[in-house]
């Protein structure tokens, strides 16, 4: 019987996830297909999931925290951060996981000797990365427009700043987790702050993929080593697909055919 998987997001039309997962299913003869679902209201995620009779789903911005609430059971790292980006349907119960954080660690393997990281933004992706970075014994700072969402990060033990009280330090890596630059030409913080930050780091990463965001353009101008979110997307996608197929396909084969989808 053919299984159906999907990605939920707003926006979602840019997502490469269908190409990646369908490449695996097709080339490894797994009876499944993967589509996009443009979801405006995160509170409708659970109902929409069942209405579509899905076997599993990925969740992208801005619904990762809503996805956590939609699940019947949370497993692994997602418990730590309250953020879910992968859901699997187990006999009518929704099981939530987070593959974002490990996907990102995979993506930055080539960045050497990371000790101090600055995260821009305080949403679901930021939560997952902050908690994972702390597991790696990095010193983590978080910069967000306003105070409202910083409590979680303070409790984790991060240095927290708003745009108005930001104190610059030297960083090894600065990561944009906001959606600034996804559909516009915005920067993730005021230009003055971005200029300072980029003058005080060795590496730069953006969770957005498929385009050179204004943030990455600014990093490029300064001659910094930078990455967009493509490797993070690949890393989390391989882990998510393993969950979807219940590890019936080899991880290496999944990775191979996901990488091939990037050549399309």
Write the DSSP string, the chain: --EEEEEEESS-TT--HHHHHHHHHHHTT-SEEEEEEE-S-GGGHHHHHHHTT-SEEEE-TT-HHHHHHH-SEE-TTHHHHT--SEEEEETTEEEEE--HHHHHHHHTTTS-S--EEEEE--SHHHHHHHHHHHHTT-EEEEEESSSTT-HHHHHHT-EEEETTT------SEEEE-S-TTTSSS--SS-HHHHHHHHTT-SEEEES--SS--HHHHHHHHTT-EEE-THHHHHHHHHHHHHHHTTT-S-HHHHHHHHHHHTT-
Tallying the residues shown for the chain, one arrives at: 264
Does 64 qualify as catalytic in the annotation?
A: yes
Catalytic residue among 64, 116, 127, 227: 64
Q: Which residues are catalytic?
A: 64
């Amino acid at each position: 019987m053919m299984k159906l998987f999907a990605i939920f997001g707003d926006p979602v039309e840019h997502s490469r996830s269908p190409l990646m997962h369908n490449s695996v299913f097709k080339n490894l003869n797994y009876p499944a297909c993967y589509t996009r679902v443009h979801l405006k209201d995160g509170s409708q995620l659970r109902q929409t999931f069942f209405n579509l009779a899905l076997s599993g789903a990925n969740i992208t911005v801005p619904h990762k925290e809503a996805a956590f609430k939609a699940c019947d059971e949370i497993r692994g790292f997602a418990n730590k951060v309250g953020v879910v980006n992968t859901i699997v349907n187990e006999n009518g119960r929704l099981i939530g996981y987070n593959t974002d954080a490990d996907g990102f660690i995979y993506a930055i393997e080539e960045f050497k000797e990371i000790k101090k990281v600055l995260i821009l933004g305080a949403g679901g992706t930021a939560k997952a990365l902050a908690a994972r970075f702390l597991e790696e014994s990095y010193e983590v700072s978080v910069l967000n427009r306003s105070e409202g969402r910083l409590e979680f990060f303070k409790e984790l033990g991060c240095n927290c700043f708003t745009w108005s009280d930001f104190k610059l330090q030297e960083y090894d890596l600065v990561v944009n987790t906001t959606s600034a630059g996804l559909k516009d030409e915005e920067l993730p913080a005021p230009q003055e702050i971005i200029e300072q930050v980029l003058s005080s780091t060795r590496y730069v990463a953006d969770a957005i993929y498929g385009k050179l965001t204004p943030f990455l353009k600014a990093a490029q101008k300064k001659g910094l080593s930078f990455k967009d979110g493509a490797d993070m997307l690949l890393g989390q996608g391989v882990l998510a697909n393993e969950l979807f197929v219940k590890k019936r396909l080899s991880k290496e084969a999944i990775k191979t055919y996901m990488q091939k989808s990037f050549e399309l």
